[in-house]
Every structure is written in C-alpha cells, then in structure tokens.
Amino acid sequence: MADKIRKFFEKKKVEAKFKMAGPGHKLTDSKPAPKETSKSAAQTSRAALSDEAKQAAAAALARLGGAPPKADAVNLNRSLAAIQAQVKKELEAQKLASERSESMERKPADVSLPETRREDEDEIPQVLAVQGVYFKCPLIGPEILSKDEWRVKIKEFLYEQLEAERGLTSCLIIHSCNRSKEKVGQCIETICKYLENIISNPSEEKYRKIRMSNKIYVEKVKHIEGALEFLLAAGFQRETLPFQDTQDEFLVLPEEKIDVENFNMLMDALRSAESIGLELDRNLKVLLPSEGVQRVNLPPDFFTLSPEELKKEHQSRSEKLEESLMLKTKAMREREEQRELKKYKYSLIRIKFPDGIFIQGTFGVYEQLVTVYDFIKENLASEDGTFVLHSPTGQKLSEAEFEKTLIDLHFVPTIILLFNWLEEPTTKTDSILRPETMLLMHSI
C-alpha cells in the first residue's frame, strides 16, 4: 500500500510539471515570453549562482569588511546614537509592560480591559525574531507555507484527484484533512465494521443500508472529511427511502456491487494510510553581529498553549510565588522545569561564527542535536573542515550529545551556540558561509 501511495504522488507530480511548463510551441513559432518563477520556488532552489549573484554576495561580504578583526566586528553597525535609541526604546516598553502587569493584578480575573487600553497595546512595537513557523511538503509542491496554508492546499489537491482515484484519495482525505486523530480512528473502525458485516452477510439487506440520520453514523462518520467519499468509492449510492411514515436519506449498496476483494483492499488502505506529512522549514536567516544579540521575541506558533491557557498562567502567578517559597526536592524541581519547557513546540537556534555573523533556524523541540550540525554543514562554504559547537557558557557539545533532543538539552525556546573550527578547511574562501547563504543578509 505504501508503494501505491508513493506511485500515486509521483504520477501527480509529473502531471503537475507538465502543467507548469505551459502549452507547447512549434519550432517555427515566435519564442514565448518566459514565465516568472514564483518566490517560494526561487527560495527553495539550490542551483549554481549566476555571476551577478556572486557579485552581490561579495558586496555583502565587503560591507562587513571581509573577515574583520574582533574589535571591528563588535563596532559593526553599532553607533553610539543607535545604541542609546535602542536602550531608550526598550526601557519605555519595559516600563509600560510593568504598569500594565500591575493594573492586571489589581483587576478581577473576569473583568476585561477597556477598548482604549487594547488600542494602546496594539501600538506597542513588537519586533519578532521570526515571523512564524513554515513547512515544506515535497509530495505536493515546492512552496514554503504555514501549517494552516498547507492544510488548505493539501485539501484542494486531494479533492482534485477524487474523480480519477476515489478510493485511495478518500483514504488520504480522512487521514490528512481531519484534526482529531481520535475521531478519525472511531470513523475508520465504524466504516470497516460496515464493510465486514456485508462481507459476512452478503444477502442481508439491512447491512447494505446505512441511514444517514442514524445516531452512530452521525456521531462517528458524518462529520469526518472524506468518509462519505470513501463509502461512495466502495459502491454505496445515496437514495431517499421511506422510513417510519416519512422519507429519510440512506446510503445503499446494491447486491451486485458487493466486491469482497475490493472491500478488503479499501479497508487495508484505510487502516494503513497516513496523513500527508509536512517537513519543518528551517526559515534560514543571516544576522549581522548587532542583530544576533538582540532580545528574541517569539510568535504564537512557538507555543503549545492557547491564549486562554496563557491567561490562566498569568492569573496563577501568585500561586506559583507561594509554591516557590516551599522546600522542594531535586526531582520536584526537574519535573517543574520539564513542564515549563513543554509549553514550546519549536526552538529558535542561532549559531555565532568567528567573524561575528549569525545564522538562525527553526527546529522542533524533539529534534536531535545532530540536525543542528547538519543545518550548519549545509550552509558552510567549505566541506573539508571540522568544527565544534559550544554552549553560551562555553561547554563543548560532544558527539555523545548528538542523539539528545533539544528539549533534553534545554535548548528551548531559544539559544545561541558558538561555532569554532577544530580543523580549518584547506580550501580558503572569502567567507565561512556559502555565497547564496550570505545573500540572505539582504532580506533582514
């Protein structure tokens, strides 16, 4: 079944490439205008750089002064006036946040802030270290989108395939377009029970009729995306039939459409299929020395808690203060620390290089440390050097820690790691980072 699903997507990707290529042209026709490349496809391309792009990367490096001495790197884009303005801005924001917090503590929990207060809050500038969390889906296309945008795109893609491949596509819709895994599981077992009853009792008419207002159907099947399409793929037909002195809608399977082999294949596909997976995009950014050390503000996507839960957290601060005065064992403190870390789904990792430049990437909190090393290797200009990472406290990260997750290492929600060469590469380059990576400095 896994092979069939893979072939299904390979076929659709080939068809999509032909559609993207546009209509054909004769050799005698005038040359068609070139089609513009989408921004998302351009971002994901890793093709060789043009001469112009290489010059732009060299210009970015030149603005940094090549490989500047440490003293120059510290002074880069850090004029006294800019520092004073930044400090003043942060102090004003901190003062306003402190006043708001005191006001919230004086108010009852169920009293909302007046509208004018909310408008003031909207005016407070909040510079986020990253605008959100983005994903890739190699099975569908090259775009880099948010999870909600991918849900819409995946749903549209699958419904486009229903006409040609209703059985397999409906299985993928059930697994990919419904958020509650528990309800999906109940729906799958109910549908399989329908088909198993028909296989065991092919001549019994009652098993070949499903009343669509039946309690079990309504609670476990009706509201699951793709469930109706699956039953239609199995051979059921929608009919209006008399029921208890009235008319009601049924799904009816004609006896001649009973196909035991097809039913078993569909049930196997339904139970073994999985949702279309998304890959976390690193959202690579290149930061100047002055930007890499700024305070990190994270968007809501990084948190597992809803706004309502975060509000309750704020209201329970006084209780936590009382608890902090209690004597606690080491095990109790570790449990509380892990509970605090589990508020986050993602971690923002910054790596500082010897020339003062930072690169930044987004990782899942349960990804292993080795994925951070792979992320760095993908962006290095040379491949023959060896390097090591240190924590902000100077602790060397050894190979024994490669298999540990970021949450186990307490690299959540964000951390700055320090890059150092163990053996410098034999091939000398103008920058530690690849030219195409240095180009991203323009987007900051």
* pLDDT at residue 50 in the model: 60
* Regions of the chain where pLDDT drops below 50: 17-28, 30-47, 67-83, 106-125, 443-444
* DSSP string across 313-379: HHHTHHHHHHHHTS---HHHHHHHHHHHHTTBSEEEEEEE-TTS-EEEEEEETTSBHHHHHHHHHHH
Residue 171: burial class (beta carbons within 10 Å; 0-12, 13-18, 19+)? buried
* pLDDT at residue 427 in the model: 85
Q: Which residues contact 251 (CB under 8 A, 6 or more apart)?
A: 209, 210, 212, 231, 236, 237, 238, 239
Q: With contact defined as beta carbons under 8 Å apart, do 300 and 172 qualify?
A: no
- CA gap 41, 44 in Å, rounded: 5
Q: With contact defined as beta carbons under 8 Å apart, do 387 and 420 qualify?
A: yes
* pLDDT at residue 319 in the model: 61
Closest listed residue to residue 222, CA positions, set 255, 178, 257, 263: 178
* pLDDT at residue 280 in the model: 94
Domains of the chain by start residue, with CATH: 134-279 (1.20.58.2190), 342-442 (3.10.20.90)
Cα→Cα distances 57→54, 343, 359, 442, Å: 5, 39, 15, 9
Q: Report how far Cα 360 is from the mean position of its chain's Cα atoms.
A: 16
Copy the structure tokens of residue 192. 């399989």
Q: Please count the residues of the chain.
A: 444
* pLDDT at residue 79 in the model: 42
The 10s digit of each residue's pLDDT in 101-152 is: 555 554 444 434 334 344 444 443 455 677 889 999 998 989 999 999 999 9
- CA gap 425, 61 in Å, rounded: 19
* pLDDT at residue 95 in the model: 64
**If phi over 0 gives left and psi between -120 and 50 gives alpha, with beta otherwise, what is residue 226?**
left
The 10s digit of each residue's pLDDT in 40-63 is: 443 444 445 566 666 666 665 565
* DSSP string across 221-284: IITSTTHHHHHHHTT-EEEEEEETTEEEEEEE--GGG--HHHHHHHHHHHHH--PPP-EE----
* pLDDT at residue 344 in the model: 87
Closest listed residue to residue 196, CA positions, set 297, 130, 271: 271
Between strands 141-146 and 358-364, the pairing is unpaired
| Residues facing 76 on adjacent strands | none
Q: With contact defined as beta carbons under 8 Å apart, do 401 and 389 qualify?
A: no
* pLDDT at residue 17 in the model: 47
Copy the structure tokens of residue 123. 């005016």
Q: What angle is formed at CA 230 by the lines to CA 269 and CA 227, rounded to 5 degrees?
A: 105
* pLDDT at residue 379 in the model: 95
